[in-house]
Amino acid sequence: MLKKERHAFIIKQINLHNKVLSADLATALNVSEDTIRRDLMELDDSRQIVKVHGGALSKSFHYPFQHTDIYAVDAKKAIARKAIGLIKSGMMVLTGGGTTVLEMMQALPQNLAVTIFTISPLVALQLADHPLVTVILIGGEFSKDSQVCVGSQVVNYLHEIKFDICFLGTNGISIADGVTDSDLNIVHLKKAMINASHRLVVMCISEKLNSVQRMNVCPLSKVDYLITDLDPDSAVLDDYREKGIQLY
């Protein structure tokens, strides 16, 4: 077995599985681990793979997300575009926090005159230079984790007003468990927001579809619209369509 052959084999394995272990290669190729290690070194030196302790990884595997500031921006922008279509002039809109909502506010047309209530300081700041929008920031204890206002103050406030439409990003949505989240405060909050709104729009990037978090926010029956980055006719969404949710 020539060195070149081993190298070819290793590259093939990595392309196949995205990773290899030194020990596996040693037995598979019937050479010592030192040899494998030296092979991996060379392939790393020639930038064909990335050597790590214990084996090697495919180059594309090496931190695929580092370059985008916000993850899945494009998907979120797509969702934002669709979501904006649901807003009509004169509406009272309620929004949560989250990057998807932020994208949405950034893309809000300049000629839309609405009142936006939000629990997210970031959303408020984002709308600061929008000429026609009135922004009401709902105050309360500021959660360092989720960067929104939470707590009973917010919940009480929400009891007193009725909104036309509520936009929520979500961390988990599935057929079986509906909308779920992982933070107790946020769950309380979202429940109150949902109850305070005439219609509910849930926004979810396709990667998060059918994922379940620890705590229950609301059943799917409460969701009026589900917006994803997918084609609304996609088969992936069939189950949601059958539940009577409007897809965008």
Task: Give contact residues for DNA (rule: CB under 7 A).
Answer: 1-3, 6, 21-23, 31-35, 37-39, 41, 51-55, 131, 184
Alpha-carbon distance 131 to 112, whole Å? 9
29 binds a copy of itself (CB under 8 A): no
Q: How many residues does the chain have?
A: 248
Q: Report helix, strand or coil for 186.
A: helix
Closest CA to 130 of 163, 164, 194, 87: 87
x/- track of binding to a copy of itself for residues 74-113 (CB under 8 A): ------------------------xx--------------
Q: Which is nearer to DNA, 115 or 210 (CB)?
A: 115
Cβ(173)–Cβ(208) below 8 Å: yes
| Binding range to a copy of itself, per CB under 8 A, among 81-89, 119-127, 187-195, 222-230 | 119-127
Smallest gap from Cβ 36 to a copy of itself, in A, equals 15
Residue with tokens 């598979």: 28
Cβ(55)–Cβ(22) below 8 Å: yes
Alpha-carbon distance 52 to 28, whole Å? 19
Smallest gap from Cβ 43 to DNA, in A, equals 12
Closest CA to 43 of 74, 69, 12, 68: 12
DSSP state of 225: E
| Residue 35: contacted member of a copy of itself, DNA, none (CB under 5 to 8 Å, by partner type) | DNA
38 binds a copy of itself (CB under 8 A): no
Q: Which of 31, 136, 212, 215 binds a copy of itself (CB under 8 A)?
A: 136
212 binds a copy of itself (CB under 8 A): no
- Site residues (CB under 8 A) for a copy of itself, limited to 218-247: none
DSSP state of 143: P
Alpha-carbon distance 75 to 41, whole Å? 38
Residues at the interface with a copy of itself (CB under 8 A) = 2-5, 7-8, 11-12, 15-19, 21, 48, 50, 52-55, 57-58, 60-66, 69-72, 98-99, 121-122, 124-125, 127-130, 134-142, 144-147, 149, 157, 171, 182-183, 207-208, 213
